[in-house]
Every structure is written in structure tokens, then in C-alpha cells.
Amino acid sequence: MARRGFVAGALGVVVAACKPTTPPDGNGPARDSPLLAVKIDNVGAARPQTGIDAADIVYAEQVEGGLSRLMAVFGSKLPPVVGPVRSARETDLELLRQFERPTLAYSGAQGRLQPLIDAAPLRAMPAGASGGAYFRGGEKPAPHNLFLRPATLGGLATGAGAGEAAGFRFAARVPEGGRPETARTVRFPSARFTFDWSAQRRRWLVSMDGSAAVTAGGTRLAAATVVVQYVDVQDSRFHDKFGATSPLSRTVGSGRAVVLRDGRAYEARWQRPTATDGTAFTADGQPLAFAPGQVWVVFAKR
């Protein structure tokens, strides 16, 4: 555990102002905020990960072979180290359009995808293009041992939540409705996520592929709110180095969602009219508030 501690903290990155958005409760535009998005490796050899417990939002998306990859979005606070960092996907570009020029930290990208990343309205910070911000270390084998230091990127800023920038609404009061639920499992073809409600911690404890998810420092990953967002998952134009097609999760549009908070499950609808809009969640036609704290969003195939 002592050797893991070097990688227990947080991430790095840059400033990118996040556009004002109007929360679904109509309280007016959210203030600008600098956000960092980091692509996180999520196969067994990459775990435990570092720094994602400090993220405002953790997105889980499907990649080649039915496996999963995470995107951790930071705004409220930045840890010192984050990782392991892996490559970007086309799904990320549509997802990140809801933020105003966020910084995207990633290990690299498929050759034909990189020009789209370069043209996207974001600050791309791949490994090798940011001085000494990235390093390899720890006991994990390559390529699962690439980590990001934040301080070396410069332009750090914290204090503005990524959740508000994404259009999420937060309230401590538990919404009416819903049904009691203590566990929920979401399956990809070759991966699964389970969220177990802890009344003591008032958090959903995260397990991945049947094992409790912890950070390299031993902290159990736990979400205040979990969103299972059902989206269209289709083949993209891109492939990995082995020829496997990269899935593309469509996050613009509308559809069903299940929102977990405070030991209850809410049948909900999500709506994101355009790529530059945030995502609004409603239940029974009314805006649905999330519990304050970290949000996990799992993109499940509808």
C-alpha cells in the first residue's frame, strides 16, 4: 500500500472555462468553471485507479470487445495524480461539447480520430504533448501504468462543479416518488458495474466486474447519485489496433434513465437537445434533483 500511495491523489490539468448553462430548475445560468476530463483505464490490470474519487462526474462508456472505460471530470477539486490514463474515443467528443473548451487528458488516439480531436472545441493534452505532465510508475504493467500530474500542466483552478455545468440539478432534500432499492447492476457485453446502497455512508458503493472498487490509496469508490442512462450504442467509423470496431454512445437526444439516490430508484427521462446543451433529467414531468456529491453516469445500451 505504501508503494501505491505515490499515486493516490489527484490529477492534473488545465483551465478551460465551462460555458454558462441554464440548470433544469430555471435558477439561471451557472457560473463559468474550468474543467478537466481524463480518460481512465478500466480493465482489471489497471485497477485500483488513482484520483477518480475526487471527480465531480465519472462517466462509464463501452469500448471495444464490450469492455468499459471511464471518463473522470474534475471541477470542484483536483487531486495530485490521476490514472491510469488511456486513449480517447469518438464518444468523448460529443459528450464534452456540453462544456466550454474543457481540457481533455488522454494517452493518445486512433490515427483517424486524432484530427477530429484537434478540431474539437476543447484543449487536447495527450501524453507526449505536455512536457513532464505524464509519467509511468507503480507496479502495473504497461500500458496500464501511465499517470498524470496536474501541477506540471499549469493554469490550475478549482471550485466550480462539473455537475452544474452538465445541467444537473442538486438538492439535499430527497425527491418524492421513486421506490426503495439497495442494489443495481448494469451490464456491458464484457463488463459490469454494481452499485450497493450504504445507509451508513449514504452513498452507493461501486463494484466493477464483481469486485469492490477502491482507489490506489484504499478508499472505496462511492457515489452520491448513480445514473443509468439508456442511449443508442452503435458502431463508429474507427477501430482499435487489433481491428475491433469502436462503439459510439450517442448522448444527444432523449430517452429513459434510472436515477439512484438515497436508497431509492427513480424512473426518469433524459433530454439533451443539442451537443452544446447539458442533460436534463425529469421524473413524472418534473426536474429530478441529484444528491450533492459525486455522480456516476453509466451509458447503457437501450
pTM of this structure: 0.87
Q: Please report the pLDDT score of residue 6 as a whole number.
A: 38
Closest CA to 270 of 15, 114, 149, 98: 98
Q: In this predicted structure, what is the pLDDT of residue 13?
A: 33
* Cis peptide, bond prior to residue 102, ω within 30 of zero: no
pLDDT computed for residue 244 by the predictor: 77
| Closest to 233 (Cα-Cα) out of 56, 44, 60, 105 | 60
As averages over each run of 10 residues, the pLDDT of the chain (302 residues) reads 37 33 34 75 96 97 96 93 95 94 91 93 86 89 92 67 95 96 97 98 97 95 98 83 83 98 98 97 96 98 95
As for how many domains the chain has, the answer is 1
Range(s) of the domain holding residue 90: 4-301
All three cell numbers of 228, joined, read 443509468
CATH number of the domain enclosing 114: 3.50.90.10
Q: Model confidence over 72-106: pLDDT tens digits?
A: 999 999 999 999 999 999 999 999 999 988 899 99
Quickly tell me which residue has 487536447 as its cell: 124
Cβ-contact 37, 17 below 8 angstroms: no
pLDDT in tens, 250-277: 999 999 999 999 999 999 999 999 999 9
pLDDT at 132 (0 to 100): 85
